[in-house]
Amino acid sequence: MSLKSKTAVITGSNSGIGLGVVRELAKAGADVVLNSFTDRDEDHALAEAIGQEFGVKARYIKADMSQGAECRALIEQAGTCDILVNNAGIQHVAPIDEFPIEKWDAIIAINMNSAFHTTAAALPLMRKAGWGRVINIASAHGLTASPFKSAYVSAKHGVVGMTKVVALETAKEAITANAICPGYVHTPLVDAQIPDTAKKYGMSEQEAIEKVILERQPSKQFATVEQIGGTAVFLCSDAAAQITGTTISVDGGWTAL
Ligand code: NAD
C-alpha cells in the first residue's frame, strides 16, 4: 500500500519502537516527522538519513512530551499531520508506597497526557485534510497489570480509554483512533530493565530475559520494532478504515492467557 502524500508525526522516535514505526511508515511512502527532547546533531542526521533511504520528506522537531505546550507546538510546527503516532514513553519500577512522586508525574505526563495534547492539536488538521489516523502505542500493560509498575499501568490503561473516546468523537469522519498494545519488544527501554532483573533474581542476564522478562509472553520471543511498525502501516490502510476504538495486541499471546 502507498502512504504517499501523507505526513506522519511520531513522538519519541529517535530509538526503539518509535524509530521502527518511522521506518515502516516511510517505507510505505509517508513523509515523516521524527521527535525527541534531545535536539542533538545526530537526531537531525537520523531524519536526513531516513529521508534519503526511503525517498520521502523527513525532518526532526524537538519537543519535550512532558510539557503540554511543547506537545501542541510539535503538531503546529509539523503543519500537516495525517497520521499521529503517540509513542513517547518512559518507565519506572517501584512499590506504590515507595514510588517517587516526580517519577509518577513524569510517566503520566509523557506516556498519557502527551497523547491528549497532540491529539487535540492534530484533529483539526486531520479534519481539514478529510482523513486521519491516530495510533497510540499503549502496551500489554494497558490491558493487564504487573506489580511495581503503578504509574506505567495507569498511564497505559488511560491511553487505551482515551483511544476509545477519540474513536467515538470521530466515528462519522474518515478518521480512526486505535491503540497498539505490544508485549515485550527488545528496545533500550527493556534493555535498561535487564541488569536489575538479573541482579534481583541472582541470574545471568540471558536467564533473566528467558525466565523473568518473557515469563508472561507465551511465544517466548520478543516482538520486533518492524512488527509494531507494520501494524501501524496496516492501521493506515483502506482495509483498516472501519477499525476504530480498538486495541491490537502484538504480544506473543500475553493477553490471551
Ligand atoms: P525507548 O526508550 O527506546 O524509546 C522511548 C522514546 O521516547 C525515545 O525515542 C525517547 O527519546 C522518547 N522520549 C522519552 N522521553 C521523552 C520526552 N520527554 N519527550 C520526547 N520524547 C521522549 O523505548 P521503547 O521500548 O521503544 O518504547 C516506546 C513506546 O513503546 C513507549 O510508549 C513504551 O511504553 C511502549 N512499549 C514498549 C514496550 C517494550 O517492550 N519495549 C512494550 C510495550 C509498550
* The predicted structure's pLDDT at residue 189: 85
As beta bridge partners, residue 84 has: 9, 134
* The predicted structure's pLDDT at residue 83: 99
CA–CA gap between residue 33 and residue 233 (Å, rounded):
15
pLDDT means over runs of 10, the chain (257 residues): 95 98 98 98 98 98 98 98 98 96 98 99 98 98 97 99 99 98 94 92 95 95 97 98 98 97
Structure-block grid coordinates of residue 56: 520521502
Count of CB atoms situated within 10 Å of the CB of 255: 15
List pocket residues of ligand 1, CB cut-off 6 Å.
12-18, 36-37, 64-66, 87-90, 110-111, 137, 139, 182, 184-185, 187-190
- Angle at the Cα of 234 from the Cα atoms of 227 and 27, rounded to 5 degrees: 70
Tell the CATH topology of 7-184+222-256: Rossmann fold (3.40.50)
Which residue ranges make up each domain of the chain? 7-184+222-256, 188-221
184 is catalytic: no
Closest ligand 1 atom, CA of 225? 26
> Which residues are within 8 A (CB) of 179 and not within 5 positions of it... i.e. 6 or more apart?
135, 136, 137, 138, 142, 159, 160, 163, 246, 247, 248
Indicate the DSSP class of residue 182.
E
- Distance of CA 64 from the midpoint of ligand 1 (Å): 13
As beta bridge partners, residue 132 has: 175
Residue type, 220: K
Handedness of CA 136, 141, 144, 150 (dihedral sign): negative
Residue with CA at minimum distance from ligand 1 atom 34: 89
Ligand 1, pocket-test mutation among 14, 17, 103, most atoms within 8 A of CB:
17
In this prediction the ipTM stands at 0.99
Contact 190, 184 (CB under 8 A): yes
* The predicted structure's pLDDT at residue 1: 75
Q: Among residues 105, 110, 69, which one has the least CA distance to residue 86?
A: 110
CA–CA gap between residue 244 and residue 254 (Å, rounded):
22
Residue entry with cell 506489580: 147
Q: Among residues 145, 151, 10, which one has the least CA distance to residue 82?
A: 10
